[in-house]
Structure 1
């Protein structure tokens, strides 16, 4: 049954610009002013997090917008404490909107005596009183099964497909989607299907963690405009190396589409000095000023799709409908009206 209450949005400090963009989009879409619930999320001198909600949320349908990006532990604790504050304030339902789910790379035991931290974080989120999770491009699909509550996992590939059809409309026949590793083939294949492009794979071998000894291209990329697709870019070492190998194998030029721009350490400098023509990131993680100033990095917004997903959850309608071009294109029409 559709919820009769208005959706109420609250945000931590992880990505306030995205939260504000969602409220603005929701206000425009519904014609009813929607703002962030008035609250303070602060730290004591010793680093403890304190949350106080100034508005009445009893019986309300609440949405916490808080990616658990760097600093991951602080942002995760903000999320958990906000959820506890809402539960103790008698909110009817609390949904965690996690544009980026931190700890997702620790989704399995890679060797003896190591944790499965993604499962631990999922347990903490459920115990805090969150009843539903909305996220985007989980690092591994099985993480949805770590939660004992509903999880809606949105995909960036439909947004990327719209962007590609706009920026490469005169080169569509020359495009080649590239997965930077074997594990990302399903994600790359999904985008390749949407833009009717062939697929190549970069097979990388590591002698030890963090060091790539060899890269081999599976597929013929000669004369192609290659689009590397992945869910996250951390230090950008693998990404920049893959771009070099593609050009060495005859690619005409290389671009990259990455959902989560972690961009830690030397990442921005590496991308700026790389052979890649462009790197396209979403704003699931708030981009730093250095990222925004980089000449070959471009940001595409996720507020339109998250806004619609929140409204669909609130209304009790389908979220998976947002995976279809016919549904998504009108949401992004102001950005990609050329398509």
Structure 2
């Protein structure tokens, strides 16, 4: 892991650099293109075009910035294992790759397309007066490798149905391969029966996506690994962890001051893997008892956090009850500072009030789910996973290894 991240700072007045005081939230995108793969793949004039396009993206979360080319950050993460003849291919002439965006997170889809040096495909999506969804592709996809970017974030049912109709439209338009790119997989928490006569909605949603006509799924940080087994088609599971790790490395916190905290027993494996990549930092566990959906109660702490910088790691923050109660316990146990890190920011009420109440030094999330303007608060930092997903899409399209990204 690099000692410092390759970041680009926003204009004065909106965002601040990673190591200085700031008055607003930040959206940071990491330069995966500095890797040997990308620099060999793209001529210099193509790279320049991509950077110019990126600066024109308007995001509903604020202006989204792509980084200038640098030689640090996550360059080692994407070290090339491509044959020479493959890395020298010019993607501009590869007309088989098409990327379409649903209405759930168009800014992320635009950043992904920018990373790949392509325009988003033209698609018409509208809703009739009775709430029904209409989808029409405005360009041919016959024989193409199609990637549909659509997280099933709130409103989950609307976005899921839209994804299914998009898949069906591509199938009926004779697309060769259809990959559902689902940065956030809704219903992922309904992955098992905890009481009698419950449904396993995660399996049902997997069946719906498969039956609609998808050939592959690309998901980011599924709530549980077994969810991949619910699909009868290939699933590429990528992790937002490297993006968060690279950002934390830029903060230059002494390794002997760090302790990684799992907010519950179920997240121990995730926290342990995170701690191992943070100079093998010690691990602490918050033991809690949950009395109902979206209701949690902290019981005690396993581990020592006194005088330490505690980094709480989870896959998502919904109402923030678990992580806020855990942070309060960490302060009671003598933690010097508390950071919250997660991939998916669902932010159901009253999450913002809990997260902005002074318990956290910083709340670090990614843009797998769009953040509305009213949900920003001073301690919030948003990292972009666009380059990570873009690199994965390229490797899937070119039949190359995805797992090597994380080695």
Q: Deviations over 1:97-136 (max 9, x none)?
A: 0000000000001101110000000000000000000011
The number of equivalent residue pairs is: 316
2: CA distance, partners of 1:178 / 1:266: 22
Aligned-partner SS, 1:165: helix
Give the unaligned 5+ runs of structure 2. 1-85
Alignment-derived partner of residue 215 in structure 1: 299
2:379 corresponds to: 296
Is there any run of 5+ residues in structure 1 with no aligned partner, and where? 28-33, 325-339
Equivalent residue, structure 2, for 1:308 = 391
Distance 2:371 2:257 in 1: 30
How far the C-alpha of 1:209 sits from its partner, in A, is: 4.5
Corresponding residue of 1:88: 172
- For residues 131 and 164 of structure 1, what CA distance do their matches in structure 2 show? 36
Tell me how far apart the structure 1 counterparts of residues 349 and 358 of structure 2 sit (CA, whole Å): 15
In structure 2, the partner of 1:335 is none
Tell me, in whole angstroms, the C-alpha distance in 1 between the residues paired with 2:111 and 2:240.
17
Match of 2:229 in 1: 145
1:210, distance to aligned residue in structure 2 (A): 4.1
CA displacement at 1:173 relative to structure 2: 2.1
The CA RMSD over aligned residues, in Å, is: 1.5
Residue of structure 2 in register with 1:189 after alignment: 272
Q: Secondary structure at the match of 1:104?
A: coil
Q: Is residue 298–residue 325 contact of structure 2 (8 Å, CA) maintained in 1? A: no
Which structure ranks higher in relative contact order (CA pairs < 8 Å, sequence separation ≥ 6)?
A: 2
Partner of 1:204: 288
Match of 1:160 in 2: 244
Cα distance in 2 between the residues matched to 1:218 and 1:63: 44
SS of the aligned residue for 1:95 comes to: strand
Quote the offset at 1:5 in angstroms: 4.8
Distance 1:138 1:120 in 2: 15
1:174 equivalent in alignment to 2:264: no
Q: CA deviation at 1:207?
A: 4.2
1:60-139 equivalent positions in 2, closer than 5 A: 60-139=144-223
In structure 2, distance between residues paired with 1:8 and 1:207:
46
Secondary structure of the residue aligned to 2:134 is strand
Tell me how far apart the structure 2 counterparts of residues 213 and 245 of structure 1 sit (CA, whole Å): 11
Cα offsets for 1:265-285 (capped at 9, x unmatched): 111121111311110010000
**Cα distance per residue 1:21-79 (max 9 Å; x no partner):** 1111111xxxxxx1111111110000000001110110000000000000000000010
User: Residues of 2 paired with 1:249 and 1:5: CA distance?
Assistant: 58
Structure 2 residue 325 is the aligned partner of structure 1 residue 241 = yes
Query: Is 2:372 the partner of 1:322?
Result: no
Say whether residues 1:12 and 2:102 are aligned partners: yes
The answer to whether the Cα contact below 8 Å between 1:240 and 1:274 also exists between their aligned partners in 2 is no
Q: Deviations over 1:246-293 (max 9, x none)?
A: 0101111100101100001111121111311110010000111123x3
Contact 2:294-2:319 within 8 A present in 1 as well: no
The residue correspondences of 1:261-300 to structure 2 (distance < 5 A) are 261-291=345-375, 293-300=376-383
1:254 corresponds to 2:338: yes
Deviation at 1:183? 0.4
Correspondences of 1:36-75 after superposition (within 5 Å): 36-75=120-159
C-alpha distance in 1 between matches for 2:170 and 2:293 = 41
- What SS class does the counterpart of residue 116 from structure 2 fall into? helix
SS at match of 2:269: helix
TM-score, length-normalised on structure 1?
Answer: 0.90
Preserved contact between residue 268 and residue 290 of structure 1 (Cα < 8 Å): no
Return the TM-score normalized by structure 2: 0.76
